[in-house]
Structure 1
Amino acid sequence: MKAVGFKTSLPISDPNSFIDVEIDQPTPTGHNLLVKVRAVSVNPVDYKIRQNAAKDTVLEQPKVIGWDAVGVVEAVGEAVTLFREGDEVYYAGDITKPGSNAEYQLVDERIVGKKPTTLTDEAAAAIPLTALTAWEIFFDRMRLSRERDQNKTLLIIGGAGGVGSIAIQMAKKLLGLTVIATASRPETMEWCQNLGADYVVNHRNLVDEVRNAGFQYVDYIVDFVDTNQYWDAMADLIKPQGHIASITGSATPIPLNKIKGKSVTFSWELMYTRSNFQTEDMVEQHHILNQVADLLDQGVLQGTLTQTLHGLSAENLKKAHAQLESGTTIGKLVIKY
C-alpha cells in the first residue's frame, strides 16, 4: 500500500524529509480495526517526532507518522465489539504504532469514535487529537464541572491553535466559563472571538494584558504554547488555590515553588497516556470521541478546519509540516486522500 514516511530526521526543506514508499498492508487482530484512511490532519506532535525520531541515524524501514484520521473500517480483529466493517470512524491513534500517513492503518477500537455525520471527511479529521486533549485537560486533569465552575475565569494561552480552537468552545459551551484567550494578530484575535472567547489578550505582555482586561487573578490557566516561556506569568496570574495545566512539556525544570505559596495545583496532559500505557480506562477515549461527535452534529461545537491539501504524497506532507513549523497556523490543516 502507499504511504509517506522518513528514514532520517531532516529539516523539512530537505527533499528527503519525507519520501513516498510502498509498504505491506497490515492485518487486524485482537481489538484492532483496519481502517481505509480518507483524510488526516497535521499537528505539532507530527513535526516534533519527524525532527527527533531518527536523529543521527538512518532507519532500515521508513517511519510512518500521523495521528489524526477519518476513514472506513475495512476489517476487524477477532476481539472487536464496538465497530464492524463499513463503519465511518475518526481517531487520533497511538503514538507508539505506525501512523495515518498511509492508505490503511491499524488502530485499537477502544480509542476510536464514530465519525460526526454532519461533517465532511476533512472537517472531521481536524477534530480527534485536539478534542481529546481539550476534553481530558478540562474533565480528567482539572476535573471542572458546569455546576461548580460556571462563570469562573479561564485563561487559554494559545487560543487560535488547534487545541485552543476547540478548548475555547468547550470552555464556553460545556462549562460556562469566562474565557480569556491569547492571540496577537488581527486574524487570530477575530478567530478566537468568533469561537466564543469573552476577552482576547496579547500573549507578548501577558500579565499586563490580563490585568488591563480587568482580572487581577484567574481561576484556571491552560497552556498550549510553552510552559517555560509563560511560567512566571502563569504563577503571577493564577488565583490562590487555582489550577494550571499544560500540554507542552518543558525544556528545563519548572520551578513549582513559585506556586507553592498560593497552594496552586499543576497538571500535565498527554492524550497518548491511555494508549501508551494501555490503561484500564483506555476505552474512555472511545466514549469521549462519540460525545464530541454528538456535540458537533447538534451544532453545540463547530469544526476548526481552515486549510485542506489534496492527495497522500510526500510533497503535501512537506507543505503541511512547513506550515505547522511556521507557528502561524490558525485552526487545523488537513490532507484529504
Structure 2
Amino acid sequence: MKKIKVLLVDDSAVMRQVLVALLEREPDMQVLGTASDPLFALDKMARDWPDVIVLDVEMPRMDGITFLKKIMAERPTPVVICSSLTEQGAETTLQALAAGAVEIITKPRVGLKQFLKDSSAALVGAVRAAAQARVGRLTARAPLPVPPRLGADAMAEPPGSQAMVQTTDHIVAIGTSTGGTQALERVLTALPRVCPGLVIVQHMPEKFTASFAARLNQLCRLEVREARHQDRVLPGLALIAPGGRHMQLRRSGAYYQVEVLDGPPVNRHKPSVDVLFRSVAKFAGKNATGIIMTGMGDDGARGLKEMAQAGSETLAQDEASCVVFGMPREAIALGAVERVVSLERIPAEIMRHAARR
C-alpha cells in the first residue's frame, strides 16, 4: 500500500509531537518529518517532497500564508491548515484557504490531550481528503473510531408532500466541502446583485464561517453573511450555515426563513448538507435549485435526491473543475442529479433557473 507522505510544520514542539503520534498510527500514512518554521520545511522538502503538508499559519521567520503561496506557485501541493480556534485566527486561516489550502482543522491553545481524543478522526480524514485533492485546479485498516454515522433523520423528517405549490420565490441551496471555499468565491462573485436567495452549507469549523462570509461579502455584489436563526431568505442575499450548527429552510407565511439549530453531526458533519437539502425539498420543492459541489464523502447526495423527487432542479459540479469529486460523484451515482456542469457555468445556471420561474 502506497503511504501518504506527510510533512508537519508547526512552531510548537508539543503540537508536533501530538500530530506525529496521531498520524503515525495510521497504516496508510508516513510522517516524512517535522519543521518548526517554513524555512526548515523547505530544506526538508528539497530532499523529499511530501504528498500533504499540515501547516500552522502563525510561525517565526516566514508566516504560513507566505509559505503556502510560495508552494502553490512553485509546486502545488495539498495543504491542511491546523489553526487555533480564535476569531482573529479565523481571518488569517481564511486567507490561507484563499491561497490554496484545502482543509481546516482547529487546534486548541491548551488541552492537547483532549484534542488528540476529540479531533484525531477529523485530522486523519482531512489528510486523506487532501491527498486526493487536485490542488492545481484551485488557481486496509479502518479509520480511527468515530461516533455513529447519523443520517438526516436525526434532524428532520422526510420531505413527504408538504412543499408548497410553485411560487415566484426561488431558493438556491448549495452544499460543498473540500475545495469549496475557493469554488464558492468564484460562484458568488460572478452573481449579480439581483439574484435568487441562496442558502449554503460549507463544511467548516465553528468560528470560521463568520469570517468566511464577511470576506465574501467584501468581494461580492450580493450580500453574504453567516446565517442567524429565523433570518429571512431574500433575493440578493446568501446565507452561510454557521460552523457547528445545522441550518434548515422553513416556510413562514408568505416567505422563507432559516432555522439555525444544534443537534448531532449528520454524516459526521455539522452543518450537514443533507439536513439543509432535505428541508429545502420539504418546504420549497419546485421552487428550488439544489447544487452539490466539490468535496469528499457523500454528504448531500441523499438530500439532493429528495430535492429532485420533490421537483427541484438539481445540478452537480463536474469532475474536471472539482478539487475532490467525491460529493458530486455520490449524488450522480444515486440518480440525484439532472445536469453536470463546470464551475464556471454554475452562476449562469443559477440565473437561468431563476428566470424561468
TM-score, normalisation: structure 1: 0.36
Which one has the bigger helix percentage? 2
Q: RCO (CA 8 Å, sep 6+): is it higher in 1 or 2?
A: 1
Q: TM-score, normalised by structure 2?
A: 0.35
